[in-house]
Structure 1
Amino acid sequence: MCLLGVFRMSIVIRIFMIPCINMQDTTRKIAVGSHVWVEDSSVAWIDGEVLKINGSESEIQTTDGKKVVAKLSKVHPKEMDYPEGGVDDMTKLSYLHEPGVLHNLSVRYQQDKIYVRGCPASVFICFLLLFNLLKDN
């Protein structure tokens, strides 16, 4: 999936899925050694492991070898029991947040399994994503 497509999906999810997402504070679940998602300027979100926590900031070793310092409020827990082919029903995800949803959509898209279920807004998101992907090609 192209980088522009990932950013478009990110924007769409931020706008339309906010009412569907359970907005409980997940930062309490993040500790040293946790696997997390952190925002990245080149790929939207990247996964990594928490090395240190200092107050409201955390140091994360990303899977591409970088060390990143990010606010705990901007770090999201990563799904560790994630099926290899993704999930068709996004309500099965333990963490329904932007990086988790984008990762699931990306995994399913790469396997040509573009249909997913979730909250009612996800139907609109899927149509919008398909339109943008077809328009780019």
Structure 2
Amino acid sequence: MIEPAESTYQVWYCKQCDQACKIHPPTVKPSCRCATPLPGLRPTTVTQMHTPQPKRLQALTDEEGRLRALARKGRRVRVTFEAEVAEAWISSSGSSGRRVQFIVTTPDGRRHVVDSGLPGLHIEAASDGEQE
């Protein structure tokens, strides 16, 4: 069951139009439109009840549930995909030395840059039955 929350405000009402001319804490704009409001001497304490709207539940597919379970900061995962090498070159930068970099194309036509110098990255050939 969702418990209703409450907010308490102090409201000064204008003597001319009977609208709120000052609210503390200032969470909403006062409704008084008088050029020179005449606030009362003492504020009125107003308590407003808020019933939070329940969050809509959304059914997850098995795959989405599995991925959400993996999506925790610090969790070690292995990401693999198969692609065809579109381009490859050797780059040399000062501190990291020489390394091979690839641009690969996945079966859906997207291109990705793969830097072989990344820690934990392992590139291997696809099995003989899958190569053209």
TM tier relative to shorter chain: under 0.3
Q: Report which structure shows greater RCO (CA 8 Å, sep ≥6).
A: 1
User: Which structure: larger Rg?
Assistant: 2
Task: Name the TM-score, length of structure 2 as normaliser.
Answer: 0.22
After TM superposition, the score normalised by the length of structure 1 is 0.21
